[in-house]
Structure 1
Amino acid sequence: MADTAAPIAVERSLRGFTGAGYDKGRPLLVQAAWFAVLNLVFVKWWFPARWRPALLRAFGARVGRRVLIRQRVRVHWPWRLDVGDDVWIGESAWLLNLERITIGSDVCVSQDALLCTGSHQRRTPTFEFDNGPIRLEPGAWVAARAVVLRGVTVGRGAVVGAAAVAHRDIAPGEVLAARGVR
């Protein structure tokens, strides 16, 4: 017989949130310097795309050769970013990397895509962090407005289609399409 009990709602107490166990990876001064550079220079249309990889490297990212990063791309913590060679990151992509994001060579992250390594423990009142790394293997494509959630690996040559949400690992060569998209 099927369980027909309604789910029990969790009473939130966000005041009790501690962020216990989360380490930002750099001192506050470095974090502040990055946010200033990100918002005043890195995301701007007038800042040359060819200089963006060098700026990320200056803040601790590992970035390969011939990497194209368009304007309005946001990277939360550069020191938690590894990018291979010949990678394209499209306009307004957001790499919310509270944990490490690894992007293999020949990967395309299209416009407005979100790679989100952060989450919360939904069953706890204080909503503590439940983060996990993201890995995009060589040749993967995260299409426009697609989302890759924490803990997911997108396999070699796999595609997360436009507006799709990858909440589980995507096998090599697999295509994950948004509902209703062929």
Structure 2
Amino acid sequence: MRDLSAFTLAGYDKGRGKLTQALWFAVMNTVFMAWWCPARLRTGLLRAFGATIGDGVLIRHKVRVLWPWKLTVGDHAWIGEGAWLLNLEPITVGAHACISQEALLCTGSHDHRAADFRYRNAPIAVEDGAWVAARATVLAGVTVGRHAVVGAGAVLHKNLPELTLHTADGERRAVKEPA
């Protein structure tokens, strides 16, 4: 029987102290996510809070990043409007990768077999040239391979090999490398 009152944060490291966490939430919710905030300022704010951000990165408005210090983004990557990077654990987005509008990258989960519903978190990697399309979800512990595509609305719960398309109905098929 599940006992949610027994849940604790034991073993989970947020990576920064409460003051830094609070400051990030204040900045994220007042400036970072705002439509009027320039993309250059968004990348600068992420860097200031410990993210590793490459050159030419485009981050649109309404993007949510739980912990910037657990985020790495390669050169010329795009993160679309309303994407949610729920990075309880590290998220790595490769060079020229695209995370489209309202996509969710969720590194957190729970052990449904444990009565205390303890965390079962794991990092996510989106490799170079990969595309996580609009409203797609990538779950904890998954790697999206080089130039792979997670189709719009799809849920990805296991690794996706390079040059593979995963559709919303779970179909997988080969794709050609971009020219």
- Into which bin does the TM-score normalised by the smaller protein fall? over 0.9
Match in the other structure for 1:37 = 27
Identical columns (%): 62
CA distance in 2 between counterparts of 1:12 and 1:43 reads: 36
Unaligned runs of 5+ in 1: 1-10
Give the letter for the 2:158 counterpart: R
Report what 2:4 is aligned to. Answer: 14
Give CA-to-partner distance per residue, 1:67-105, whole Å, 9 cap, x none.
000000000000000000001100000000000000110
Task: Provide the residue aligned with 1:129 in structure 2.
Answer: 119
Cα distance in 1 for partners of 2:170, 2:140 equals: 24
Over aligned residues, Cα RMSD in angstroms? Answer: 1.2
- 1:180 Cα deviation from its structure 2 partner: 8.2
Secondary structure (helix, strand or coil) at the match of 1:144 reads coil
1:53 aligns with 2:43: yes
Q: Which residue of 1 aligns with 2:86?
A: 96
- How far off is 1:26 after superposition? 0.2
Q: Determine whether 1:24 maps to 2:14.
A: yes
Task: Give CA deviations for 1:105-141 in whole Å, capped at 9, x if unaligned.
Answer: 0000000000000000100111000000000010000
Matches within 5 A, 1:1-182: 11-179=1-169
Asked which structure has the greater CA Rg, the reply is: 1
Query: How many pairs were matched up?
Result: 172
Q: Quote the Cα distance in structure 2 between the aligned partners of 1:181 and 1:62.
A: 34
Change in CA separation of 1:175 and 1:181 when aligned onto 2, cut-off 3 Å: closer
The residue matched to 1:86 in structure 2 has which SS? coil
Superposed CA offset, 1:10-52 (max 9, x none):
x211111012100100010000000000001100001111211
Matched AA of 2:165: V
Determine helix, strand or coil for the equivalent of 2:85. Answer: strand
- In structure 2, distance between residues paired with 1:173 and 1:180: 16
TM-score (norm 2): 0.94
Deviation >3 Å, runs of 4+:
none
Could you say what secondary structure the match of 2:72 adopts? strand
One-letter code aligned to 1:170? L
**Stretches of structure 2 lacking an aligned partner (at least 5 in a row):** 173-179
